[in-house]
Amino acid sequence: MLALTILGNNSAIPAWDRNPTAHILQCIDECYLIDCGEGTQIQMAKYKIRRSKLNHIFISHLHGDHYFGLIGLLTSMSLLNRTQGLHLHAPAALEQIITLQLSVADVRLSYQLYFHAITSESIIVKDSKIIVESFRVRHRIECWGFLFTENKNPRKIDSQRAKAYEIPTSFYEKLQKGEDYITKKGTIIPNEEVTTEAVKAKRYAYCADTIYDENLVEKIKSVDLLYHETTYLKALHLRAAERFHSTTIQAGAIAKKGEVKKLLIGHFSSKYEILDEFLAEAKEVFENTELAIQGTSFRI
Amino acid sequence: MLALTILGNNSAIPAWDRNPTAHILQCIDECYLIDCGEGTQIQMAKYKIRRSKLNHIFISHLHGDHYFGLIGLLTSMSLLNRTQGLHLHAPAALEQIITLQLSVADVRLSYQLYFHAITSESIIVKDSKIIVESFRVRHRIECWGFLFTENKNPRKIDSQRAKAYEIPTSFYEKLQKGEDYITKKGTIIPNEEVTTEAVKAKRYAYCADTIYDENLVEKIKSVDLLYHETTYLKALHLRAAERFHSTTIQAGAIAKKGEVKKLLIGHFSSKYEILDEFLAEAKEVFENTELAIQGTSFRI
C-alpha cells in the first residue's frame, strides 16, 4: 500500500494559507518527499512526518515554488545530527546551488548527501520497497515527472497447506518469491499449491508542472493515482498554455485518456481563493477527481 | 517615530510555531526588512506588512535561518509585477547565490534589484527618513549588525512668532533646517526665536547573531531599543560561547553597559518550548527587557 500526504498545493506565490508544492509518499515504513517548496519543513512538523523516515527526495524542476524549502530542510536535519545518508534526485544545477549555500555558511552536513542528477527517462530508484522512474514533462524549463511503483509484493503463503506438505519454514522466503518446493523424494510442490498471488503493486504518477501534453498519457497509463496540476480554471486556458501550465479540464482529459483510477489536482493559482470550481470542472471530464487539500492523505 | 514588528524569533530550526529571524522596522511610510528566514513572506502576509512599502532589505549573515526566505520573497514580488527598485544590503556572497537561483529558473525580475555588498563599518543608507549604519558582530562567520537612526526631524516652527517677525512662508523650509532669517533691513532673526527643537531622533540597534562581546557596547550606546540575541539560558553559557551565541544575562549585561532604554531578546533555541525563563533571567541584569514575540510590535 502507498499513501500520499499533501503538504502544499499552491502555485508560485503562497496565499490563502496554501503553501507551495510538496508531497509525501509513504511506502511501508519509508517516506519519499516529492518537491519541497518554501516552508516544507514546517509543514512536515505540522503533519507529523518524521524526518528520519526520509531517505529520498525528488525535485521536479528548479522553479522556486518547488525547491526553495529544500536547503532549510537539509540544514535542519544536519543541525539535528542526522547520520543516515540522504539521496537527492534533481536537475543537475541544484547541486551547485546547495554546495554554494553550504559553503558560504561554512556548514558541513552531519550526514552524507548523495546527489543524483536526473538526465534521462529512466529508473532512478529501485529497492525492495519501491521503483521510481523519471519521465519528461513539458514546462518552461527542464522538468521531470515521477512514477512510483510498489516493488512486487511477496506472494502470500497459505500456512495450513504449506504445513500439510511439510515444507520447512526456512523455505518460506523462497515460496514468497514464487519458487516451487521439491521434497526429499523429488516430488515437486508447485508454488501455486501453497501460495496465493500478491496484492497488485500500486502506482502513483506525479506530473509536476506541465502544459497540456498528450504525450503524458502513455507514461501515466492506468496508474492508481495521478497527480496532474491545474493552475487555472478552464476559462484561462490561453494563459495556461502561455505559461506552460494546465487547466482543470486538461488534467481531466489526461486522466481520462490515461484510464487512471483516480485524479488528484493541485498547484492552484493564488488568484483563486475558493477551490470548489476546480473540482467541479475537472469532474465534468473525469468523475473520480479530488482536490489536493493540504494535510489530507490519500490511500493508494 | 520608529516601530518594530517581529516576524520570526527562533534560532536555526523552526519549532514551537516559531519562525526563523525576521524583523520589520517601520519609519513613517516605509518598511525596512532585517533578515529574512524561511517563511518570511508568509509572515509578512499574516501580519499585513505591505511589500510595496519595502525598499531596503538588510541581511546580517549567510546562515540559512537569516536568509533562506529571501529568494522566495524576491521572486514573489516579481511574479506580482513589482516595478519599483529594491535595495539589498548583505555580505557579498549572497549576490552569487541569488544570481544562480534566478538563472536556473530562467527568471528575470520585473524590477531592478540593487545589490550592495557590506564590506566595512559605514553608513549604508542615508535618505530623508533614516540613516542606517553597519557594524561588525562576532559570529562564526562574517556577520553585521545594523544601527537605524531616524534622520533628524525638521525643527518646529512657531508660526505665530514667525508671522510677527513677518518671515515669508517661502523661507519656512530653511527655518526648519535651522537657518536664521535676515530681514530686508539686515536684522538677523535668530532661528531659536521662531522655532523649537525637533523631537529627538530615535535609534534602533540590531545585533544579529553574536557571541558575548563588550565591543558592542560603544556601538549600541544609549539606543532607544537594542535587539540582542539570547539563543540560550544562562546555564548553557559554555555552549553559547562555543557556538558564537549569547545567553540571557550576557544580553542583559550589554544592554546595561550600553545604557540603552529598552532591550529586546530573541533567536531562542528550539530546545526551549516555554520562554518565560528567558525574560526572568535577562531582567535579573536589565529590568526593561521584553521578549521578541512573533506578531508583536514595539514603538520606539
B197 pLDDT band, cuts 50/70/90, is confident
Which residues of chain A lie closer than 8 angstroms to B42, CB-CB? 14, 19, 38-39
Q: What does residue B123 show for φ and ψ, rounded to 5 degrees? A: -75, 120
- Say whether A101 and B64 touch across the interface (CB within 8 A): yes
Q: Look at strands A144-150 and B289-291 and give their pairing.
A: unpaired
Q: At what angle do helices A276-285 and A248-257 cross, to 10 degrees?
A: 40
The two most distant CA atoms of chain B are separated, in Å, by: 74
- Catalytic residue (choose from B17, B35, B65, B209): B65
- Say whether B94 and A104 touch across the interface (CB within 8 A): yes
Unique residue bearing C-alpha cell 518594530 = B4
Burial of B40 (0-12, 13-18, 19+ CB in 10 A): buried
**DSSP label at B299?**
E
The partner residue sitting opposite A79, judged by closest CB among B13, B80, B140, is B13
Q: Please state whether B164 falls in left (phi above 0), alpha (psi between -120 and 50) or beta.
A: alpha
Q: Is the pLDDT of residue B291 over 90?
A: yes
What confidence score (pLDDT) does residue B12 get? 85
Q: Which helix (H) or strand (E) holds B10?
A: none
Query: Rounded CA gap, A169 and A183, in Å?
Result: 13
Q: Is the pLDDT of residue B238 over 80?
A: yes
Burial of A241 (0-12, 13-18, 19+ CB in 10 A): middle
Which candidate, B70, B61, B65, B68, places its Cα nearest to that of B33? B70
The two most distant CA atoms of chain A are separated, in Å, by: 74
Which residues of chain B lie closer than 8 angstroms to A91, CB-CB? 104
Please name every residue paired with A126 in a beta bridge, in sequence order, or none if there are none: A131
Which candidate, A16, A20, A17, A19, places its Cα nearest to that of A273? A16
Q: Which amino acid is at B271?
A: K
Burial of B77 (0-12, 13-18, 19+ CB in 10 A): buried
Query: What is the average pLDDT across B274-287?
Result: 97
**Contact residues, chain A to chain B, C-beta under 8 Å:** 12-15, 19, 38-39, 41-42, 45, 62-64, 68-69, 71-72, 75-76, 79-80, 91, 93-94, 96-97, 100-101, 104-107, 140-141
Q: Is the pLDDT of residue B152 over 80?
A: no
Q: Are B282 and B252 in contact (CB under 8 A)?
A: yes
3-state secondary structure B106-117: CCCCCCCEEEEE
Per-residue model confidence as pLDDT tens for chain A (300 residues): 899 999 999 998 888 889 999 999 999 899 999 999 999 999 999 999 999 999 999 999 999 999 999 999 999 999 999 999 999 999 999 999 999 999 999 999 999 999 999 999 999 999 889 999 999 999 999 999 999 999 877 788 999 999 999 999 999 999 988 899 999 899 999 999 999 887 788 999 999 999 999 999 999 999 999 999 999 999 999 999 999 999 999 999 999 999 999 999 999 999 999 999 999 999 999 999 999 999 999 999
What confidence score (pLDDT) does residue B178 get? 86
C-alpha cell at A75: 540544514
* Span B239-262, pLDDT tens digits: 999 999 999 999 999 999 999 999
Q: Is the pLDDT of residue B119 over 80?
A: yes
What confidence score (pLDDT) does residue A117 get? 98
The partner residue sitting opposite B63, judged by closest CB among A12, A63, A105, is A105
What confidence score (pLDDT) does residue A128 get? 84
What confidence score (pLDDT) does residue A198 get? 79
Query: Rounded CA gap, B279 and A247, in Å?
Result: 52
Give one DSSP letter per residue of chain A, joined into a string.
Answer: -EEEEEEE-B-SS-BTTBPBPEEEEEETTEEEEE---TTHHHHHHHTT--GGGEEEEE----SGGGTTTHHHHHHHHHHTT--S-EEEEE-THHHHHHHHHHHHTT---SS-EEEEE--SSSEEEE-SSEEEEEEE--SSS--EEEEEEEPPPPPEE-HHHHHHTT--GGGHHHHHTT--EE-TT--EE-HHHHEEPPPPPPEEEE--S----TTHHHHSTT-SEEEEE--B-GGGHHHHHHTT--BHHHHHHHHHHTT-SEEEEE-B-TT-S--HHHHHHHHHH-SSEEE--TT-EEE-
The partner residue sitting opposite A38, judged by closest CB among B13, B38, B97, is B38
Instruction: Report the sign of the C-alpha dihedral through residues A33, A39, A43, A49, in that order.
Output: positive
Query: Rounded CA gap, B209 and B230, in Å?
Result: 9
Please name every residue paired with A56 in a beta bridge, in sequence order, or none if there are none: A32, A87
B200 pLDDT band, cuts 50/70/90, is confident
Query: What is the average pLDDT across B97-122?
Result: 97
**Contact residues, chain B to chain A, C-beta under 8 Å:** 12-15, 19, 38-39, 41-42, 45, 62-65, 68-69, 71-72, 75-76, 79-80, 91, 93-94, 96-97, 100-101, 104-107, 140-141
What confidence score (pLDDT) does residue A53 get? 96
Return the CATH architecture of domain A2-153+199-299: 4-Layer Sandwich (3.60)
Q: What is the dihedral of CA A263, A230, B105, B59, to 10 degrees?
A: -100
What confidence score (pLDDT) does residue B71 get? 97
Q: Please state whether A267 falls in left (phi above 0), alpha (psi between -120 and 50) or beta.
A: left
What confidence score (pLDDT) does residue A214 get? 98
Indicate the SS3 state at residue B223. coil
* Span B93-104, pLDDT tens digits: 999 999 999 999
Residues 6+ apart with CB under 8 A from A204: A2, A4, A25, A147, A148, A223, A224, A225, A227, A300
Q: What does residue A194 show for φ and ψ, rounded to 5 degrees? A: -125, 0
Query: Rounded CA gap, A96 and B70, in Å?
Result: 18
Q: What is the CA radius of gyration of chain B?
A: 22
Q: How far is A142 from chain B (nearest CA, A)?
A: 9
B65 is catalytic: yes
What confidence score (pLDDT) does residue B85 get? 98
Instruction: Give CA A20 to chain center in angstroms.
Output: 16
B48 pLDDT band, cuts 50/70/90, is very high
* Span B21-42, pLDDT tens digits: 999 999 989 999 999 999 999 9
B128 pLDDT band, cuts 50/70/90, is confident
- Options 3.30.300.30, 3.40.50.1100, 3.60.15.10, 3.30.450.40; CATH for B2-153+202-299 is 3.60.15.10
Q: Using alpha carbons, list the distances in angstroms from residue A218 to A205, A221, A254, A259, B273.
A: 11, 5, 10, 10, 51
Among the ranges given (A110-119, B11-20, B203-212), the one the predictor scored with the smallest mean pLDDT: B11-20
- Say whether B42 and A141 touch across the interface (CB within 8 A): no
Work out the end-to-end distance of chain A between its first and last CA atoms, rounded to an integer number of angstroms. Answer: 6
* Span B56-94, pLDDT tens digits: 999 999 999 999 999 999 999 999 999 999 999 999 999
Q: Using alpha carbons, list the distances in angstroms from residue B260 to B21, B200, B219, B246, B248.
A: 22, 15, 11, 18, 16
Query: Rounded CA gap, B60 and B52, in Å?
Result: 22
Domain spans of chain A?
2-153+199-299, 156-196
